[in-house]
Amino acid sequence: YGGVDAFDKGLYGSSEMFVNGFMHLIKSGIVKRKVYDDLDLQRLINEGKIGETVSPSTLECLLNESIISHQLTHSDFIYLQRWGIFSDAVQWAEDGLKIGETTLSINLLEQANFASVCELCLGDNLKGGIYMHGGFYLGPQDFYQALRDMSREENEKICMSSVGHINQLDYNHPLLSAQRKHARFINTGMMVTLSGAVVSDGLENGTVVSGVGGQYNFV
């Protein structure tokens, strides 16, 4: 399931407990697929209409999908800059978009102006992508050291969130469903029996040593 070709896109991790195994998967380039907390962006990425690299076609796609208007509003500008489609160097002004000493019209229907906006205002890559959501983390000392040693850029791709956000689709069903395509489910186990059953939360005498976590949500 999913093919046997080169592992290009990678996986996005979402776990109530962010454990050392995920850090190994991050370092190995397996957990690397970023998701975005915006349904429109996530849908367009899923459909292959835009990629993480920002280009004139990114802006054109947002216009064609009516996500932003051809006569840019201030909220459109904030949206474009929030997600890295516009660079941080662009400023909103009463008379248009300012880049240094240059002022451009907010009318993107005018072809020459659209070309100038693409040349001067676009960022390089989408911002705000997350490749790991966790509720809490637990692991050995080298795991914590790896977290401390991460660069700010890499650290911001890990988002500590609520358990409800991770375990329950109804936290935001459309967005979470769009982010979690082709999912693989892994549970941490304590023991494996000779018959292949995995013990993950209790012992033979009924002693519970771990909560069921998100298992009941999955079931």
Sign of CA dihedral 147, 152, 153, 156: positive
Q: Which two tokens stand for residue 72?
A: 């840019």
- Write down the pLDDT at residue 133: 96
Identify the DSSP state of 110: S
d(CA 71, CA 107): 5
Q: Which two tokens stand for residue 97?
A: 């978009």
168-204 pLDDT, tens digit each: 888 899 999 999 988 877 777 788 889 988 887 788 8
- Write down the pLDDT at residue 170: 86
d(CA 47, CA 125): 18
Name the pTM for this structure: 0.85
Where the chain has pLDDT below 70, the residues are 211-215, 218-219
- Write down the pLDDT at residue 8: 81
Q: Which two tokens stand for residue 49?
A: 């209409």
- Write down the pLDDT at residue 7: 74
For 127-148, the three-class secondary structure string (H helix, E strand, C coil) is CCCECEEEEEEECCHHHHHHHH
AA letter at 5: D
Cα torsion 131, 135, 141, 142 to 10°: value is -10
d(CA 32, CA 27): 9
Q: Which of 157, 115, 138, 147 lies closest to 213 in space, CA to CA?
A: 138
- Write down the pLDDT at residue 210: 74
Q: Which two tokens stand for residue 164?
A: 């409800």
